[in-house]
Chain A
Amino acid sequence: MSAKPARETGLRQSMAWIHTWLGLLAGWILFAMFLTGTASYFRPEITRWMQPEIELQSASPERAAQTAIAHMQATHPQDEQWTIYLPDERTVGTRIFTRARENPDPKAPKPPRTPEIRLDPATGKTVAARETRGGEHFYRFHFQLQIPHPWGRWLAGLCAIFMLAAIVSGVITHKRIFADFFTLRWRKGQRSWLDAHNVSAVLALPFHAMITYTGLITLMLMYMPWPIAANYAEPSAFTAEAYGRDEESEASGRPAPLTDIAPLLRAATREWHGGAPARITVRNPNDAAATITVARDSADTLNARGQSIIYSGVTGARLSASAPPGPAIETAGVMLGLHLGHFARPFLRWAYFLLGLAGTAMVGTGLMLWTAKRGKPGALPFFGYRLVQRLNIGAIACLPAGMAAFLLANRLIPAALPGRQDMEVAAMFWVWFGLAAASLIRPVRRAWIETLTIAATLCAAVPVVNAVTTDRGLMRSIMTGDGLFVAFDIVMLASAALLGFTAWQAARRPASLPSNRRPPAPIAATAREVADAA
């Protein structure tokens, strides 16, 4: 950072300058966060695609809860706590996590964590499927960036606040926000990148602002613990007051049979005026002090911090329920819900997906604009310029290739191979960074064309490999009306088409830059130029 902000200039000039720097410094990570976050709107669907051997019939929540509890009674009756996630229309199978009772002897080793149990909700039989991180991988990467805890989250948060500041400064920079909405001049070099950046930014501006701010809200307790410290001696006191206390009741030691779950679910649904249960927590099962907490599905409320009711696990009596939140806690919960989009039905979920792609395009075109403005025809480009060019290729073309490789690895690594889920993740990063590194030996324009072509090919290969390695290829999916698998193949083909089109455009663009370019300007002057142009 050598250049100073333009001295004695207006708000728009200073904001244009900082907008450029914010976008440049955080742009590549933001591009990856936007793209993997966009994919995460289909997190359960990606997981289902990545375990093609599972084809389950749906069952009512009551039936799923009963088969789950029967299974746990048979296998883990003495555990301290069972957490049962009921299936819904997006997730097949009941997922159960169980926690063994700790040995009262403090010197005894901690009981090993039991892996997730997956059941067929109709029969209660365990479901065997290939090990995979599924959609969870993109989702975790979106805010943890595959960096050890807590640094990945801090870096993601830093990029998010850069994004927020870039949105505010971008809006201030913009003079003709409405007119630019309708302006897209193709094939005019820098002018086209500016138009594309403006269109993708302005078209979905409310979404970008919302998703950035609510993204910060998702981890606000970590990023901003100070308001809590000002009011509470213990941070847990705040979460208890805001979101309800987690019942950590102790076992009495007297055995008592566990009550039937079905009437409790019916009572909870009645109390929520039809709201569906999503999670059941059974604490101290088969003990006289047993409790059953039923938590509401956040899919039918805007507030992602769902309500819950606690019942006695022996008599079934209602013991307590989470207090209705006040306006601030409700606002934060709704902001979280808006970010996660769990409430979105298919139409709105696809809207989220497309808006997320618009955000990805906004970041990508912004990065391209930076280089388009600074290319000097004929002159040897300075180091920063070449660095940005290469990082742009690494993010924009190589990340989609890596994501496609993750999906391909899922189909190509033998389903029974131990440790295969880590290999899938490794495949993504090897292809992503490997391709970026390999492209360094090629001239920039060739590198763009080739990496984009490879990314397009990998995306197009996904439906093909899927059809070859499973019996759930596109043709059969269409015949059987398997909407998820049909949509997945279509999205992969559309991604391949988009990447291929981009590669074709990169190949078509004349090697020399447009002749009407102004002479290269120092950054401060360039900032003014952005403002003028905008």
Chain B
Amino acid sequence: MAARASTALVGGYAAASGLAALLARLLPVARVEATGWALILSFLFYAVIGLWCFHEPRLSRVAGLVWGLAAFSIAAAMLLGVRP
């Protein structure tokens, strides 16, 4: 349960942050607007990811998907770099 809870709390935040950063970087509108939408939606991402962690019974799937999503989205956002 500790693994599940920390995945939801920390992994969920990391995944939501990565997704929001990616959305902000890739949304084809002005960067200030893309940043704004990503900021607004980030908390919804976090809440939904966090809740799903307690719905899916298999812990391996929870940890794999959430941490994988976090790693992928953060890595992608970092590779893309700051919007020129």
Question: Measuring CB to CB, which residues of chain A are less than 8 angstroms from any residue of chain B?
Answer: 1-5, 7-8, 11, 14-15, 17-18, 161, 164-165, 168-169, 213, 216-217, 220-221, 223-224, 226-233, 238, 241-242, 326-329, 331-332, 335
- Contacts A/B (CB < 8 Å), 16 sampled: A1-B5, A14-B55, A164-B43, A165-B51, A168-B48, A224-B42, A226-B42, A227-B21, A227-B34, A227-B35, A227-B38, A230-B83, A231-B83, A232-B31, A241-B32, A327-B33
How far, in angstroms, from A241 to B34 measured CA to CA in the complex? 12
A224 touches B43 (CB 8 A): yes
B32 touches A220 (CB 8 A): no
Across the interface, name the chain B residue whose C-beta is closest to A331: B40
Residue from B16, B25, B57 in contact with A5 in the complex, judged by beta carbons closer than 8 Å: B57
Q: Which residues of B contact A331 (CB under 8 A)?
A: 36, 40
B32 touches A238 (CB 8 A): yes
Q: Which residues of B contact A241 (CB under 8 A)?
A: 31-32
Interface contacts (Cβ under 8 Å), in number, total 125
Question: Measuring CB to CB, which residues of chain B are less than 8 angstroms from any residue of chain A?
Answer: 1-2, 5, 16-18, 20-25, 29-40, 42-44, 46-48, 50-51, 54-55, 57, 77, 80, 82-83
B43 touches A332 (CB 8 A): no
Residue from B17, B25, B82 in contact with A233 in the complex, judged by beta carbons closer than 8 Å: B82
A328 touches B18 (CB 8 A): no
Residue from A4, A165, A242 in contact with B1 in the complex, judged by beta carbons closer than 8 Å: A4
Residue from A17, A224, A231, A335 in contact with B17 in the complex, judged by beta carbons closer than 8 Å: A224
Residue from A161, A169, A228, A328 in contact with B40 in the complex, judged by beta carbons closer than 8 Å: A328
Q: A231-B82, A231-B83, A328-B36 are in contact. List 6 more A-B contacts (CB 8 A).
A: A169-B51, A216-B43, A217-B43, A230-B24, A233-B82, A329-B32
Residue from the set A161, A216, A221, A230 with the largest chain B CB neighbour count within 10 Å: A230
Residue from B5, B29, B40 in contact with A217 in the complex, judged by beta carbons closer than 8 Å: B40
A231 touches B57 (CB 8 A): no
B39 touches A224 (CB 8 A): yes
Across the interface, name the chain A residue whose C-beta is closest to B16: A224
Q: Which residues of B contact A168 (CB under 8 A)?
A: 47-48, 51
Given the known interface contacts A224-B42, A226-B21, the answer about A11 and B55 at a Cβ–Cβ threshold of 8 Å is: yes
A228 touches B35 (CB 8 A): yes
Q: Which residues of A contact B34 (CB under 8 A)?
A: 227, 231, 328
Across the interface, name the chain B residue whose C-beta is closest to A220: B39
**Shortest CB distance A161–B (Å):** 6
Q: Which residues of B contact A226 (CB under 8 A)?
A: 17-18, 20-21, 24, 42, 77
How far, in angstroms, from A234 to B2 measured CA to CA in the complex? 37
How far, in angstroms, from A328 to B18 measured CA to CA in the complex? 19
